Structure 1
């Protein structure tokens, strides 16, 4: 019945609405009852506009990723590692059909000439790989964007950080240090970055540059730029490096690159070195100590020598916050300061290791004194935004508000 209703809706060529779906289900002649009809409408709508059979998984609380490795191998990640579900597709052709539809909804094409495609949909980031590039079945990876932004108190209560770590992170934002959040995939880098940006003062203008829009800080003045892939003809692409250059013309108080993964690292380091303090972003790395090597590799993609990367990063970056994931959940594993050694190497020197017991002698690393020096000069705490999400009226803004009233 679902296949019949779906075919009828597609053949009509008219917009898919809830009313048309309900009418099509009713005209099928099946005696479904009220609840059965509602389930059928939801199923067909998911087939046409949502994630199809995967929609029910996407609606479960806490699910961040859905991974389809084959018709009978559907995995999910709810923050405690990957779990195999009982969901099954009828065949690999069904998986390929769903993948092709999702990619087409993002304005791109999935076929033999484009067997690996990534698109951004409303609420989802979808990546698909076809055979024979995939050595088994069609592969489908879906990252679910959650609009919920946590407060520092909520992250602390959830075990992401302890009170001392939370206080240091607040001071990093209040002191407008330039920072990177590092970690492996799925460690919560974007979640923590959104929370930290929410601590920015209400009058600051945040310009976000992302490959896929995922950041959602609670702040009254946020503008976002998202990179764009080429269309089916391969034209019209806009990469992150270009967006960083555009963002510098938009008067940012804080320039944020959602994920440094290519040549945009050159523009970001240059911006940090020309008065754009308080900037930040995320980067993939196995540890804080690996961040300098990762920066060198990304700099090479932008045509920068290792010496240039060291000089730029040492003067631009202040802090690296590294996240790790374990059976206990996602945690801030280390906070390190960025510096250059006497022999010209870029180093991430451990300053705080929150995962160690409070009374551990080496919880505070050799970079602790340097970190204290960098976060101790402001003397101000990050100001919270007003509950209504608006900036406090003062100066010209207050005068305008009064005159309008």
Structure 2
């Protein structure tokens, strides 16, 4: 792309104000005196929007529907993940300076600052893409950029059964979690599909109910007519304006919610969510990073400590608030493809001393027949099944 043309278009768009639309870009290009045919103009509009509003030379990778991650290690070392593991691309970003400029611009697009005084950033772009970047000298090779895409689509339970993410016999169990207003956690490691599954389950909520979702950035896209989506806000460059997940949970309680949903429990907001579920707001849910369902108590205890909760008080809150844990697993096949599936539906039970534990009710290894365990009887009774 011609740098002079880009500067001219950028200056024209700056005078118009607001977030430029495709028509604004076309108008700016024509005002610059460039004469292009229809196809060439469309291509130029895509390039200009990618440079000004998107991820520049990385945008075509993010636009690929199969790409989940784009990783820049250096100007000549760019990788993508299309669900088959990491693949190196032949993309050349030029110089370390060009990568740094791209990282700084992406951070600014996410409303964050990235410079020598603040050399790391964790932000969201306008389309929901997650951005993480570091500048030298924190990384010896120069600026490093990590982008994770967000695909806004709500699946049905039938879709997930067809994709073999859920065994067919578990479809009524998951549906009953929603219908019987059970409060539950969706857990799993990074990239296991927690948000996908949660959005699917929220799509089953009675259309007459009001769902309030609380997230770091909007990712949950349930197919439901009454969803109020709240998103946290980071501090601006002056260090003010922060709105935390805890703030949003407390506000959600005043919004006449039928279901309170926390997109990801990752900090002291665990106290507010458990409190909400223990004060009449049944049917709420959240996602939580955990390698196994059995690890959930340790994860919650660590988060509770950030909120000043003792182990005893956290256990009491969790035992009263949570009916089930739905755990997702991810396996990588020999050919590098990834398979994600619901591997366990578990329950929260009292453990020794001031601890609580998560015990399996149903388990599945992804290929054979699902297995029932002793705790299934109690969960089945809670969900209205004859065990």
Pairwise same-fold verdict (TM > 0.5): yes
Alignment of 1:49-64 (within 5 A): 49-64=53-68
TM-score, with structure 2 as normaliser = 0.90
Counterpart of 2:111?
107
Which residue among 256, 273, 287 is the counterpart of 1:251? 256
Which residue among 117, 121, 129 is the counterpart of 2:121? 117
Counterpart of 1:14?
15
Counterpart of 2:151?
146
Does 1:331 pair with 2:341? yes
**Counterparts of 2:329 and 2:75 in 1: how far apart (Å)?**
31
**Counterparts of 1:24 and 1:45 in 2: how far apart (Å)?**
16
Counterpart of 1:223?
228
SS in structure 1 of the partner of residue 264 of structure 2: strand
SS in structure 2 of the partner of residue 225 of structure 1: strand
**Counterparts of 1:188 and 1:70 in 2: how far apart (Å)?**
29
Which residue among 361, 373, 393 is the counterpart of 2:381? 373
Residues 311 and 354 of structure 2 are in contact (CA less than 8 Å); yes or no, is this contact kept in structure 1?
Answer: no
Counterpart of 2:52?
48
Alignment of 1:272-287 (within 5 A): 272-287=277-292
**Counterparts of 1:359 and 1:121 in 2: how far apart (Å)?**
42
Instruction: State the 1:131 CA deviation.
Output: 1.4
Residues 21 and 41 of structure 1 are in contact (CA less than 8 Å); yes or no, is this contact kept in structure 2?
Answer: no
Instruction: State the 1:376 CA deviation.
Output: 1.2
Counterpart of 2:298?
293
Moved more, 44-53 or 252-261: 44-53
Does 1:170 pair with 2:171? no
Residues 188 and 289 of structure 2 are in contact (CA less than 8 Å); yes or no, is this contact kept in structure 1?
Answer: yes
Counterpart of 2:335?
none
Instruction: State the 1:137 CA deviation.
Output: 2.6
Structure 2 segments unaligned to the other structure (5+ residues): 333-337
* Structure 1 pair 354–237 and aligned structure 2 pair: CA distance change class (3 A): same
SS in structure 1 of the partner of residue 346 of structure 2: strand
Alignment of 1:185-196 (within 5 A): 185-196=190-201
Moved more, 231-240 or 126-135: 126-135
Which residue among 30, 36, 39 is the counterpart of 1:23? 30
SS in structure 2 of the partner of residue 260 of structure 1: coil
**Counterparts of 2:369 and 2:111 in 1: how far apart (Å)?**
55
Count of matched residue positions in the alignment of Structure 1 and Structure 2:
373
CA shift digits 1:333-379 (9 cap, x unpaired): 1111111125342111011112265457xx1123211221221179x
Does 1:202 pair with 2:207? yes
SS in structure 1 of the partner of residue 166 of structure 2: coil
Which residue among 79, 82, 86 is the counterpart of 1:78? 82
Instruction: State the 1:175 CA deviation.
Output: 1.1
**Counterparts of 2:39 and 2:239 in 1: how far apart (Å)?**
46
Counterpart of 1:242?
247
